Each structure stands twice: as C-alpha cells, then as structure tokens.
C-alpha cells in the first residue's frame, strides 16, 4: 500500500529565471499533519501552490498518490479536486455564507444531497450565520467559513497556508481544534504552513524547516524541537534566527 | 403624440429598440468574453490589444459610420460579396453593424477593468476549490458583476443616443431606418421643435427605464 500522498523529486520553481524553490526530496505521508515552518520568502507558500497543482514545477517530479507529474503534464481535474487550500486570507465570494460553503460542491455539479453544507457550518460553529452575507463577517468567522468551504469537499489533502495568522486566540484555538479533528476522524492529510512554531508543535506530527527555497531539515515534531540535527533549525526553534 | 401612441412614433421606437438591442446583445457576446480574457490572461501582444481596445472606446461614431459605409457600399470589400450574411447599406442590419462596432470596445474595456479589480488571490482560491478554467472565469465575472453590468450600461448608452453612424449607414429612411435620434435631427431641421422634444422625451425615458431594469437585474448588489 502506498503510504505517501506526495513524493517530490528534484522539484524546482523559478519565476523569470530566478529560482525560488529547490526541493531535492520530500515525502508527505497519508494521514499525517506535516508542518512547514520558516521565515517569509522561504518558499513555503510556493511549495503549497505546487502541492495544490495551482502552478506546475519548473523542473522535477511530483508524485501525488499513484500518479507522477512533471513541468509540462497537466494534472487531471479529478486528482486536482482531491486537494484544496485554505489561505491566510479567507478570500470569500461576495455571496451568502452558505453559498460560499456550497461553492466547491457546485463546481463539481453536486447539489448538496446530504445537507453537507449545514453539517460543515455546524462543524465550524456558524450555523446561525448561514444566510448572512460573507463580507459582513469578522476575520475569525470568515476564516471559519473558508475552512467549512474546504471541509465540505472532503479532500484527501488539506493545505493550510497560515490559516490563523492575525486571528484572536479564541478563533486560533477553534480552527486548530477543527483541523485536528479532521485529521483524526477523517484521516485527512494536513500540510500546515505557519510562522508560529508553537502552533507547529501543537498540531504537527512532522515538521520541516525551509530557508531560501530549500528544505533544511525534516523531523518528527519531538526531534525537530528537542534535538534538531541542523544548527539552523536549532537557531530557528530557539528564536535566535534573525530574518 | 406620446400619449396617443402614434403609430409612426411607435414604429420609430420599436426600430430603435430593435437595432440598439441587437447591437447591444452582439456587443455583450463579444465584449464580455474579450474583456474577461484580457483581464485574466497574460499573452504576448496583450498591451497592444489593450491599447487598441482603449482606442476603440473613444471611436467617434461618425468615423465608425464612415468605415462601415465604405465596407458595405457596393464597391467596398464586403458590399461586393453579395451574401445574406452581410447586410446592405441603408438597412437596419447595417445600423446594427455600426452600433456593435461602437459599443463592444466599451463593454470589453469596462469588463476588463472590472475583472482586473477583483483580488488576484481569489482566482487562485477558486482554482484551489476545484474550478476549471471556464468556471474560474465565470466566478470572477460574477464577483465583478457590478462592473460588468456597468459595462453593458455604458455600451447601451453609447448606441441608443448615437446619431452620426446610424444616419450615415441607415440614411434615416422613413418606415425603414428612421430611429429616435435621426428623427430628432430631422424634426429639428424642419423646425418641428415640439415633435423633436417629444421624441427626445421618449428617448430619455427608454434610456432611463432600461438602466433601471439593468440595475434591478443586479438585485441587492448596489445596496451593499
């Protein structure tokens, strides 16, 4: 059985000839919470876009489940739809809350047969706001709608790009609880990009440090924080890295 | 004349609506996809196309009329083809062609601006939720709907009130190509100011009611 959802081999990404990502090897296991930490500009979000097939790599191979892709191979829609991203900003459509949550189902030609929109809204604690226009929500509520919009699609992989940055502690706690539950009860693989090392420590099974477009170290959460093998990881987790 | 729904006036009103409505429909079918493509994609020569589009937004109608006249006249490149697909000069079809050329750059240009005003990150978000290219474009157009409706309103405004081109390619023939604007010109020249004013009121009313209808199509959007 294939235990990896992603296997990356010599993946690079360049814009206008400038290389911003160089990942020699990276494997992400099915059902794990994998956290990418590192300073701004380290290539974490670029890597997420590649994992969501929003952009092709400039070179290298990405194996997703049992299918391998390179720079010039379009990813079939059915595979692309098994992954989704919750971005740092909620990026809601100018519609009602429930219409936002139902949006992805509509793209798939589904008409919410099992009342999944209501279930997802219940899961994020926003049932009462279903009819409200999304743009009237607070930051925390909006991000929970963005999460419900992803949950309702039942993805194999959920990519989270700084999902709790700029949120209050209550909403941070709530979102962490929801994604943890998703991982534990539905076995959804989570890839979490965060600046917050404490969040990575709380949620992740494995953590990777990225610096200047490269993966410096990948380790299980305990090893990463307690006994890092790379001095840069040591400096990063101690908060001694200035960036 | 207005209150008694004079048959001659009604014929002019209906022809105006028919010509400008058809031209607006064609402009919308050309302009919205073109504007969306210009706003969402990047390709070599895009700047040139945008520059041409902006130039088109400022086309003097009378120049468009001249251009269409030359194209459709018997000695012009299209006039010689003698096919039912190409309308003859001095027919409503020729007026539709001229008005479409006047209004589609406006529809495309304003649609492009509206699409470009949508947060670029939203495009990534909808793709991430599984949208195909077509679904992404449609979703962005729906997000930009206020601007898109404005583009259609601008397109309509540019042709319902236009006189130079329809006069040139239509010829203001009574019972055939006379529309509200050309009738106003004619009646003013004849000194029938009351009639010209009455037709002007009809024209303004049509323009007002059409715009109100378009705004109502938007539902709550403008109240937000």
Over residues B131-154, the mean pLDDT reads 95
- A18-29, strands of its sheet edge to edge: A67-69, A59-64, A4-15, A18-29, A214-220, A206-211, A33-37, A189-194, A157-161, A83-86
Indicate whether A145 pLDDT > 60: yes
Q: Which residue has the higher pLDDT, B223 or B92?
A: B92
pLDDT, position B210: 86
Q: Spell out the domains of chain A, with CATH numbers in brackets.
A: 1-82+158-163+184-243 (3.40.50.300)
Indicate whether A185 pLDDT > 50: yes
pLDDT, position A209: 96
User: Shortest Cα distance from B215 to chain A (angstroms)?
Assistant: 17
Indicate whether B205 pLDDT > 60: yes
Give tens-digit pLDDT for A2-11: 589 999 999 9
Q: How confident is the model at residue B2 (pLDDT cuts 50, 70, 90)?
A: low
Measured between beta carbons, the chain B residues lying within 8 angstroms of A149 are: 129
pLDDT, position B220: 52
Which 90-129 residues of chain A touch chain B by CB within 8 A?
91, 93-94, 103-104, 107-108
User: Shortest Cα distance from B124 to chain A (angstroms)?
Assistant: 7
User: Shortest Cα distance from B32 to chain A (angstroms)?
Assistant: 20
Q: How confident is the model at residue A111 (pLDDT cuts 50, 70, 90)?
A: confident
Q: Tell me if chain A has a CB within 8 Å of the CB of B120.
A: no
Indicate whether B29 pLDDT > 60: yes
Q: How confident is the model at residue A55 (pLDDT cuts 50, 70, 90)?
A: very high
Q: Are B30 and B108 in contact (CB under 8 A)?
A: yes
Mean pLDDT computed over every residue of chain A: 94
Which of A103, A120, A150 would best serve as a mutation to test chain B binding (most B beta carbons within 10 A)? A103
Indicate whether B224 pLDDT > 70: no
pLDDT, position B218: 67
Indicate whether A58 pLDDT > 90: yes
> Among partner residues B119, B132, B142, which is closest to A77 by beta-carbon distance?
B132
Q: How many A/B residue pairs have CB atoms within 8 Å?
A: 51
Find the residue in B nearest to A155 (Cα): B129
> Distances in Å between the alpha carbon of A195 and those of A44, A160, A237, B192?
10, 12, 11, 77
Give Cβ neighbours of residue B117 (< 8 Å, ≥ 6 apart). B144, B147
Superfamily of domain B7-223 in CATH is MetI-like (1.10.3720.10)
Q: Tell me if chain A has a CB within 8 Å of the CB of B176.
A: no
Triad B124, A25, A85: Cα angle to 5°? 20
Give Cβ neighbours of residue A3 (< 8 Å, ≥ 6 apart). A29, A30
Give tens-digit pLDDT for B77-110: 998 888 888 999 999 999 999 999 999 999 999 9
Q: Tell which residue, B85, B223, B98, has the closest CA to residue B171.
A: B98
> Among partner residues B121, B131, B224, which is closest to A87 by beta-carbon distance?
B121
Burial of A187 (0-12, 13-18, 19+ CB in 10 A): exposed
Measured between beta carbons, the chain A residues lying within 8 angstroms of B129 are: 84, 103-104, 107, 149-150, 153
Indicate whether B144 pLDDT > 90: yes
Please provide the DSSP assignment of A26-66 as one string. Answer: EEEETT-EEEEE--TTSSHHHHHHHHTTSS--SEEEEEETT
Give tens-digit pLDDT for A76-94: 999 999 999 999 999 999 9
> Distances in Å between the alpha carbon of A220 and those of A24, A140, A232, A234, B111?
19, 30, 16, 14, 50
The ranges assigned to domains in chain B are: 7-223
pLDDT, position A1: 42
B163/B182 Cα distance (integer angstroms)? 6
Q: Tell me if chain A has a CB within 8 Å of the CB of B125.
A: yes
DSSP state of B44: T
Measured between beta carbons, the chain A residues lying within 8 angstroms of B121 are: 87, 89, 91
Mean pLDDT computed over every residue of chain B: 92
Q: Are B168 and B65 in contact (CB under 8 A)?
A: yes
> Among partner residues A52, A94, A108, which is closest to B128 by beta-carbon distance?
A52
Over residues A197-223, the mean pLDDT reads 96
Q: How confident is the model at residue B219 (pLDDT cuts 50, 70, 90)?
A: low
Over residues A56-62, the mean pLDDT reads 97
Q: Are B28 and B155 in contact (CB under 8 A)?
A: yes
* Record: contact A107-B129, CB cut-off 8 A: yes
Find the residue in B nearest to A107 (Cα): B131
Q: How confident is the model at residue A98 (pLDDT cuts 50, 70, 90)?
A: very high
Buried/exposed A79-99: b ≥16 CB within 10 Å, e otherwise: ebbbbbbbbbbbbbbbbbbbb
User: Shortest Cα distance from A234 to chain B (angstroms)?
Assistant: 34
Q: Tell me if chain A has a CB within 8 Å of the CB of B124.
A: yes
Dig out the tokens for B11 from the structure. Answer: 């014929």
A201/A126 Cα distance (integer angstroms)? 28
Q: Tell me if chain B has a CB within 8 Å of the CB of A55.
A: no
pLDDT, position B214: 81
Over residues A205-224, the mean pLDDT reads 96
Q: Are A35 and A204 in contact (CB under 8 A)?
A: yes
> Among partner residues B125, B132, B135, which is closest to A91 by beta-carbon distance?
B125
Indicate whether A60 pLDDT > 50: yes
Q: Tell me if chain A has a CB within 8 Å of the CB of B139.
A: yes
Over residues A195-199, the mean pLDDT reads 91
Measured between beta carbons, the chain A residues lying within 8 angstroms of B127 are: 54
* Record: contact B125-A103, CB cut-off 8 A: no
Dig out the tokens for A159 from the structure. Answer: 């990519």
DSSP state of A133: B
> How many percent of chain B have pLDDT more than 70?
95
> How many percent of chain A have pLDDT more than 70?
98
């Amino acid at each position: 059985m294939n235990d990896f959802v992603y296997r990356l081999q010599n993946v690079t990404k360049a814009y206008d000839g400038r290389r911003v990502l160089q990942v020699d090897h990276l494997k992400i296991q099915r059902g794990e919470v994998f956290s990418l930490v590192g300073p701004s500009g380290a290539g974490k979000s670029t890597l997420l876009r590649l994992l969501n097939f929003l952009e092709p790599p400039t070179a290298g191979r990405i194996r997703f489940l049992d299918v391998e892709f390179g720079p010039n191979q379009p990813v079939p829609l059915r595979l692309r739809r098994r992954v989704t991203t919750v971005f740092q900003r909620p990026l809601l459509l100018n519609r009602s809350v429930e219409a936002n949550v139902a949006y992805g189902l509509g793209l798939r030609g589904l008409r919410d047969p099992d009342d999944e929109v209501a279930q997802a809204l219940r899961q994020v604690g926003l049932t009462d706001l279903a009819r409200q226009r999304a743009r009237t929500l607070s930051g925390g509520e909006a991000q929970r709608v963005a999460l419900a919009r992803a949950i309702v699609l039942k993805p194999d992989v959920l990519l989270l790009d700084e999902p709790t940055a700029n949120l209050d502690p209550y909403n941070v706690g709530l979102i962490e609880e929801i994604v943890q539950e998703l991982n534990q009860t539905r076995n959804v693989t989570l890839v979490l990009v965060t600046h917050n090392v404490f969040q990575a420590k709380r949620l992740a099974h494995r953590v990777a440090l990225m610096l200047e477009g490269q993966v410096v170290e990948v380790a299980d959460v305990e090893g990463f924080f307690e006994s890092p093998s790379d001095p840069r990881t040591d400096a990063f987790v101690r908060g001694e890295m200035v960036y | 004349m207005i209150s008694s729904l004079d048959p001659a006036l009604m014929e002019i009103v209906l022809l105006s609506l028919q010509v400008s409505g058809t031209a607006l429909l064609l402009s919308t079918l050309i302009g919205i996809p073109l504007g969306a493509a210009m706003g969402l994609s990047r390709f070599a020569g895009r700047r040139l196309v945008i520059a041409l589009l902006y130039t088109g937004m400022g086309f003097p109608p009378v120049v468009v009329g001249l251009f269409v006249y030359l194209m459709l006249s018997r000695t012009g490149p299209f006039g010689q083809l003698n096919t039912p697909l190409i309308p003859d000069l001095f027919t409503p079809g020729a007026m539709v062609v001229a008005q479409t050329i006047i209004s589609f750059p406006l529809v495309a240009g304003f649609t492009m601006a509206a699409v470009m005003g949508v947060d670029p990150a939203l495009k990534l978000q909808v793709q991430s939720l599984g949208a195909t290219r077509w679904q992404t474009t449609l979703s962005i157009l729906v997000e930009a709907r206020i601007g898109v409706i404005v583009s259609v309103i601008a397109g309509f405004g540019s042709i319902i009130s236009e006189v130079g081109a329809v006069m040139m390619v239509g010829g203001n023939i009574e019972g055939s190509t006379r529309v509200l604007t050309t009738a106003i010109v004619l009646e003013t020249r004849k000194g029938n100011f009351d009639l010209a004013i009455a037709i002007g009121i009809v024209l303004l009313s049509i323009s007002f009611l059409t715009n109100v209808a378009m705004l109502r199509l938007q539902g709550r959007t403008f109240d937000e």
